[in-house]
Amino acid sequence: MTMELFIPFKKNQYREGIFLNEYKGKFYLVQAQMSKNGGTVFKKFCCPVFKDIIQEERKMPMGIQLKDRKEAIEILTKILSLLEGR
């Protein structure tokens, strides 16, 4: 079973937020935007650049891979501790 969760930014007129996505057992945080009717989440995509050549045909979501569930929890816990000043 895959996990998908959209967390909107507060006070954001463009309905942007973070999308937590599980794909093939790995977790990702992806920048995303909710549709105007609130039914669809659109991931923001970017194009990789290799040797100053933009490769538009290889678009990929703007995100961070957090590996498996255990490692994702460890990474997010460390981030939370830093933000809380511990």
Residue 15, sorted as left (phi over 0), alpha (psi -120 to 50) or beta, turns out to be: left
Q: What's the mean pLDDT in 35-62? A: 86
> Residue 2 and residue 63: Cα distance in Å, rounded?
17
Q: What's the mean pLDDT in 23-32? A: 92
Contact 27, 70 (CB under 8 A): no
Q: What is the pTM of this model?
A: 0.75
Q: What's the mean pLDDT in 18-26? A: 91
The pairing of beta strand 4-8 with beta strand 53-54:
unpaired
